[in-house]
A and B are shown apart, each in its own frame.
Chain A
Amino acid sequence: MKDIVKKVLSGDPRAIARLITLAENNDPSAADAMKEIHPHTGKAHVIGITGVMGSGKSTLIYELTRRYRKQGKKVGIIAIDPTSPFSGGALLGDRVRMMELAMDQGVFIRSMGTRGMLGGLTSAVYDVVEILDASGKDVVIVETVGVGQAEVDVIKIADTTLVIIVPGLGDSIQTLKAGVMEIADIYVVNKADRAGVEQAVAEVESLVDITCSEKERKTPILKTIAKQGKGVKELVKEIENHEKYLKKTKEFEAQRRLRYEAELVEIIRKRLMNFIFDEEQFKDRVEELIDQISKKEIDPHSAAGEILGKILK
């Protein structure tokens, strides 16, 4: 394990890839490695990107990455797609728009399935951000699953969260209000060459006016045409401005605390669930209890109480 950690810290792609796999599979050795990795983290700026399906997230990431590379920055990309709850399989296709980056040694891209997690992320994403960070990436970009309603978990992990919208959503922006539209540090109206762009910007503006009226920083709204690379330079600048703002206002510390809290909760959740549902001593009892619930011999709350009682004693 020492060897793989050393290689990760030196930026070796195979070691990075292998450690990510171990973390993703909940391999017990991953926890040991992550212990060595953690002291080397905290340097990378983490950008979260969320938005509806087909809004151009992957293309925008490609364009952002090209610009960061020109600045000499190393980039890690985590692209998350949904895992089928039925087969457990996943089709991970975000790379299609990023293949031009495949031969660049300063870019590491990893595609991940959600593997049962809701909220647009995957359970191991915290580890993967730390691994890429420790491997020397200056920027880590996390692309969430593109559905557009509940994919708000990304704010827990990202220093800067971008919400991508496209013209033509019309009134549907209103319906997004309660979730995705509250988490942006920067709004991006992509595909700005399409009809209805001004209306989309106006809708977001009116929303920003309501949500930011009491805040020091007003969430900026940018127009991009990612396919042509238009507006991306301005977006890079705006992300930089946000990073400066975070550091100036101490919000940065608060943001990072939020990430570590979420990570801690997720690790505990995962280990607890594995303990209850995978360990031999509980497995059979859990199955029995489910049968009993089906037969109305016990209610689900009491059954949960029994299992938790066993652990907590």
Chain B
Amino acid sequence: MEKKIRVLVAKPGLDGHDRGAKVVARALRDAGMEVIYTGLHQTAEMIVETAVQEDVDVVGLSLLSGAHMTLFVDVAKIMKKKGLDDVLIVGGGIIPEDDISKLKKEGISGVFGPGTPTEDIVKFIKKNVKK
């Protein structure tokens, strides 16, 4: 049987806007992936713990509050510390152009702003998944 790509879609931090995360979750499901959705207000530690138990190939973070430089980077750091090097991290939300390259340096391999066609995200994941 073919291996399925498992993706954790998580919303770190305090903003309550999960429309984007849900749209992406659905698009990934329709592309044949298994999407674990955790709901709102997750801490970085909770997200990493969930990623471990669910043995996901991808962690997708969504955040619209502007705290991505802290929270996305926190998730990436804890994952690195735990040795989850083979998990692809992507992020989405309202993220200024200047921050994107910084996030990429910190290990968030793909950053997608508003209006990104969901197919682009699917393609990116399929191309870059590490396991």
Contact = CB atoms under 8 A, between A and B. Distances in A.
A93 to B, nearest CB: 5
Given A18-B55, A88-B4, A96 B38 contact: yes
A87 B39 CA distance: 23
A220 interface: no
A285 interface: no
Contacts, number: 85
A92 B1 contact: no
Nearest to B57: A21
Interface of B: 1, 3-4, 6, 25-26, 28-39, 42, 45-46, 49-50, 52-55
Interface SS, A side: mixed
Interface residues of A, number: 30
Counting chain A CB atoms within 10 Å of each CB, the highest count among B4, B36, B39 belongs to B36
Given A91-B37, A93-B39, 9 more contacts: A17-B55, A26-B1, A89-B32, A91-B25, A92-B34, A99-B42, A110-B54, A115-B1, A274-B1
A-B complex: 7 closest residue pairs judged by Cβ atoms: A89-B29, A96-B39, A17-B55, A102-B46, A88-B32, A21-B55, A89-B32
A88 B25 CA distance: 14
A21 B56 CA distance: 9
B20 to A, nearest CB: 15
Contacts of A18: 55
B26 A99 contact: no
